[in-house]
Amino acid sequence: MPETTSHRLIDAAQDLIRELKPLCFKDPVSHVYLPTEYAWDRHREYLERFGGAGGVPSGKKRVLMLGMNPGPWGMAQTGVPFGEVPAVRDWMGISGPVNKPENEHPKRPVDGFDCTRSEVSGRRLWGLFAGKYPNPEDFFEEHFVANYCPLVWMGETGKNITPDKLPQSEMVPVEKSCRKHLAAVITALDPEWLVGVGAYAEKKLIETVREYFPGREFRTGKILHPSPASPAANRGWEPQAERQLVEMGVW
């Protein structure tokens, strides 16, 4: 039986977990979550259900969208990129038990699908897609959403620490493994478009293509990141992002 696109994505995700799991991080990092590991069943369900295209096991995607790393109330709870609970449960139809991380921060509990906090970035991103594609299969027919890095870093206070704030020496092995994983995702999906959700993700797409696909042409671009920390995103993110996708020619 030939290996499906979803199976290739699952294998790549498991390889990334094995490589990232042993890594250690020093102060100011006090806690590290790896939701693709403790929420593996839900992450695998996302890859199995939506990694292929149109019911075709080897189906490719036209558009790969890439985020940075999980938010504490989104993917950290559900195992799905930008995984706002209502979007994952009610639109995608994914739900079920989620385990706890080994070292849980008291201010950042993992309650899985019982989490009542909203991941604003995920609510905005999946809200745009669900509004345009009421049936999730129609969206995932041509699109796929992944994260560059599945790790969540937190300080003693529970504050989220983004990858760009970590020492370069600690990020070298992380970057190497994440670029390798991203290259495997691109190979499996064979997309026409590589779209960064934010400038950081676009940069990582360009770096990975340069390293792993020299000489190959992809259409690349970015949309405004939906984070509430962005003043621009708080001024009507959905119409801005949709306009960017239309102007690029993705939509």
Position 1 scores a pLDDT of 43
What does pLDDT average to over the chain? 95
Query: Over the stretch 210-227, which tens digit does the pLDDT of each residue have?
Result: 999 998 999 999 999 999
Q: Could you give the 3-state DSSP secondary structure of residue 122?
A: helix
Position 219 scores a pLDDT of 97
pTM here?
0.95
Query: Over the stretch 125-158, which tens digit does the pLDDT of each residue have?
Result: 999 999 999 999 999 999 999 999 999 999 999 9
Position 163 scores a pLDDT of 82
Domains of the chain (ranges; CATH) run 5-58+67-192 (3.40.470.10)
Position 60 scores a pLDDT of 87
Average pLDDT value for residue range 175-181:
98
Distance CA 102, CA 117 (A): 21
Position 56 scores a pLDDT of 52
Cβ count within 10 A of residue 113: 17
Query: Over the stretch 191-213, which tens digit does the pLDDT of each residue have?
Result: 999 999 999 999 999 999 999 99
Distance CA 194, CA 56 (A): 21
Query: Over the stretch 49-93, which tens digit does the pLDDT of each residue have?
Result: 999 865 555 568 999 999 999 999 999 999 999 999 999 999 999
Position 55 scores a pLDDT of 52
| C-alpha atoms less than 13 angstroms from C-alpha of 2 in its C-beta half-sphere | 6
Average pLDDT value for residue range 33-57:
88
Instruction: Respond yes or no on whether the N-terminal peptide bond of residue 57 is cis (omega within 30° of 0).
Output: no
Largest CA distance in the chain: 50
User: Does pLDDT of 19 surpass 50?
Assistant: yes
